[in-house]
Amino acid sequence: MLEKQRHQLLLDILDEQQFASVNDLSSQLNASEATIRRDITKLAKQDQLRKIRGGAEVLNSSERRSRRPHLSGTAFLAAKEQRADVKRLLAKEAVKFCEDGEFIIINGGSSTYMMREFLAERHLNVLTNSFVLAQELAETSDNQITLPGGELYRKQGIILSAFENDTIQYYQASKMFMGTPGIGKFGVMESDPLLIQTEQKLKKQADQLIVLADSTKLGKRSNFILCPLSEVDVLITDSEADPELVKYFESENIQVILVDVNQPS
Amino acid sequence: MLEKQRHQLLLDILDEQQFASVNDLSSQLNASEATIRRDITKLAKQDQLRKIRGGAEVLNSSERRSRRPHLSGTAFLAAKEQRADVKRLLAKEAVKFCEDGEFIIINGGSSTYMMREFLAERHLNVLTNSFVLAQELAETSDNQITLPGGELYRKQGIILSAFENDTIQYYQASKMFMGTPGIGKFGVMESDPLLIQTEQKLKKQADQLIVLADSTKLGKRSNFILCPLSEVDVLITDSEADPELVKYFESENIQVILVDVNQPS
DNA sequence: ATAAATTTGATCAAAATTTAGCATATTGAT
DNA sequence: ATCAATATGCTAAATTTTGATCAAATTTAT
């Protein structure tokens, strides 16, 4: 059996049963114990599993090296599919807010990613933590692109850093655009704890915060509160939004833009 | 059987079973192992499969050649053409220097970009200011990727920042790889003034500096001196290098690796 | 604490795989 | 049909992986 293949199977086994002894693996993969030990050592070096006495142990997902959730691939584009048509309209409206030459920040996410289509023929200065958006804009537009430093998280297609990041700190934008899994009286939500810190750092550098959220997101809760409503300047949503909530947002001094979902596009 | 036909069948087999050993393929396609090896090498160069020890492995669809060339392709890819074969061999040698799990820095440029092919099956932690390299590695490999913050320069496919950049400062690497337009008694040269500052910052974070330069670059001058020879630890060049110069570099305590240019692969 | 049992890493020879060079066969162009 | 270019198969040498053995380290049982 090929080494690579054996490695793959070994990881598959671990995925299912959490732990595996050298002996188990040796018989399941019919390879000698010496070989299994070498495999484990190698895979441990690659951060694919944890070597423990007697065998190996799986890593929990946060430690694990993303097992090829491809950029531009599965996870990201799949999320993009949901209500893609509405998101596209919100994105279109968002881009209309910008004047050529303006400095803006675009936070990663499937809603804001849609802005790429409309940014193609614009000439803005864009700071974004979305690697995939940067990629698109670099290829299809003349916008000036700035990226924050950090590690690339393939699953989200985003660049994250634990450190204070000077590139962000020196960037001053008039507007920041972001999507959200939920927005309500409690504020703007975020489901991915990894993202919160970066988002808050980005938000500090912009004069105006513009949130994109289709009507199903209104009033929805999620894991974490990213910021209170008072920090939101504009909310772009669709015409099916609950009028009560819209009124409430407006009473909180938020400019609400309702995009007609039956618009021809 | 026609070569093209055999290639197609080979890929079909891989599609079905993920892995295939040279031996398997040889009997299934009745061709000698030598031929199968040559096929695999060729197809791997075309990014149709991944060459692994003992055989070949499928690429998941997003890695497949279907994708369009990244970043406008023009300037950057054109530069890539020159002496591409030699550069590829230098890159291969460079990757051999790395151990899985190691933290390395790769400076942008056409030589170092070639490392992507050989990094595909490795598991390293890579910090690079090359946006295009990051793109490739993100799509085709499991390496952990870190990017410095800054503006995206399309022509060079590179991220540059005028600011001190914490992402870089917190990164500690054992090796830094860089290409150069010229290296001689005066030191390592750089032609693009924009790059110098970033390169010097990156260099500070690595224990060892490894320079890739084909033999035509040896003794060549360019606009700027990036660093003196004393800071270079390893020079990877090809066997057509001027022996006098090689001797000189060695007398300066540089480990010189000569790659045989007549090597096939 | 001591002994027994287990696991580990190192070493080495055998087996498998890759590479390189050369001879032969096939193909395409004239 | 002939020549050149390319593709194929074979072999020997170099490299890598594997499995077996064993001493040292670690854990478990007494």
> What is the arithmetic mean of pLDDT over B144-162?
90
Give CA–CA dist B150/B160, Å, rounded: 5
Specify the CATH number for B3-63; select among 3.40.50.970, 1.10.3720.10, 1.10.10.10, 3.30.930.10: 1.10.10.10
Give CA–CA dist A201/B14, Å, rounded: 46
Q: Looking at residue A258, what is its pLDDT?
A: 95
The three-state (H, E, C) secondary structure of chain B, written as one string: CCHHHHHHHHHHHHHHHCEEEHHHHHHHCCCCHHHHHHHHHHHHHCCCCEEECCEEECCCHHHCCCCCCCCCCHHHHHHHHCCHHHHHHHHHHHHHCCCCCCEEEECCCHHHHCHHHHHCCCCCEEEECEHHHHHHHHHHCCCEEEECCEEEECCCCEEECCCCCHHHHCCCEEEEEEECCCEECCEEEECCHHHHHHHHHHHHCEEEEEEECCHHHECCCCCEEEECHHHCCEEEEECCCCHHHHHHHHHCCCEEEEECCCCCC
Q: Looking at residue B73, what is its pLDDT?
A: 46
Q: Is the CB of B73 under 7 A from strand C?
A: no
**A74, A145, A152 member nearest B134 (Cβ):** A152
Of residues A218 and B123, the one with the higher pLDDT is A218
Set of chain B residues whose Cβ sits within 8 Å of the Cβ of A168: 149
Distance in Å from C30's C1' to B41's CA comes to 32
Q: Looking at residue A64, what is its pLDDT?
A: 55
Q: Phi and psi dihedrals of B122, rounded to 5? A: -110, 170
Q: Yes or no: say if B47 and B65 are a contact pair by the CB < 8 Å rule.
A: yes
Q: Yes or no: say if A188 and A227 are a contact pair by the CB < 8 Å rule.
A: yes
With CA atoms as reference, the chain B residue closest to A162 would be B167
Tens place of pLDDT per residue across chain A (265 aa):
888 888 888 888 888 778 888 988 898 888 888 999 999 988 888 888 889 888 898 886 555 554 444 455 444 555 556 778 889 999 999 999 999 999 999 999 888 999 999 999 999 999 999 999 999 999 889 999 999 999 998 878 899 887 777 888 889 999 999 999 999 999 999 888 778 888 999 999 999 999 999 999 999 888 888 999 999 999 999 999 999 999 999 999 999 999 998 765 5
Q: Looking at residue A76, what is its pLDDT?
A: 54
Q: Is the CB of B55 under 7 A from strand C?
A: yes
Nucleotides of D under 7 A from a protein CB: 7-11, 16-21, 26-27
First-last CA distance in chain A: 55
Residues A12-51 have pLDDT tens digits of 888 877 888 898 889 888 888 899 999 998 888 888 888 9
- Banded model confidence at residue B69, pLDDT cuts 50, 70, 90: low
Which SS3 state, helix, strand or coil, does residue A186 take? coil
Q: Yes or no: say if A135 and A124 are a contact pair by the CB < 8 Å rule.
A: no
Q: Is the CB of A55 under 7 A from strand C?
A: yes
Q: Is the CB of A52 under 7 A from strand C?
A: yes
Q: Looking at residue A265, what is its pLDDT?
A: 53
Q: Identify the residue whose tokens are 């691939």.
A: A73
With CA atoms as reference, the chain B residue closest to A77 would be B62
Domain with CATH 1.10.10 in chain A: 3-57
Q: How confident is the prediction for chain B on average, in pLDDT?
A: 85
Q: Looking at residue A80, what is its pLDDT?
A: 53
Nucleotides of C under 7 A from a protein CB: 6-11, 16-21, 27
> What is the arithmetic mean of pLDDT over B92-110?
89
- Banded model confidence at residue B211, pLDDT cuts 50, 70, 90: very high
Least confident of A233-237, B57-61, B93-97, B155-159: B57-61
Q: Looking at residue B146, what is its pLDDT?
A: 95
- Banded model confidence at residue B152, pLDDT cuts 50, 70, 90: very high
Given CATH 3.40.50.1360, say whether it is the number of domain B74-259: yes
Domain with CATH 3.40.50.1360 in chain B: 74-259
Q: Phi and psi dihedrals of A206, rounded to 5? A: -115, 145
Domain A3-57 fold is Arc Repressor Mutant, subunit A (1.10.10)
Set of chain A residues whose Cβ sits within 8 Å of the Cβ of B144: 65, 151-152
Least confident of A96-100, B19-23, B65-69: B65-69
Q: Shortest Cα distance from A161 to chain B (angstroms)?
A: 7
Domain with CATH 1.10.10.10 in chain B: 3-63
CA distances from B216 to B180, B239, B242, B256 (A): 11, 11, 9, 15
Q: Is the CB of A204 under 7 A from strand D?
A: no
Question: Which nucleotide is the nearest neighbour of B33, by CA and C1'?
Answer: D9
Q: Looking at residue A68, what is its pLDDT?
A: 47
Q: Looking at residue B101, what is its pLDDT?
A: 83
Gyration radius (Cα) of chain B, Å: 20
> What is the arithmetic mean of pLDDT over B204-229?
93
Q: Looking at residue B184, what is its pLDDT?
A: 93
Q: Looking at residue A71, what is its pLDDT?
A: 57
The token duo for B224 is 């700027």
**Residue A2 DSSP symbol:** -
Give CA–CA dist B61/B132, Å, rounded: 19
Least confident of A103-112, A213-222, B5-14, B73-82: B73-82
Tell me the one-letter amino acid at B60. N
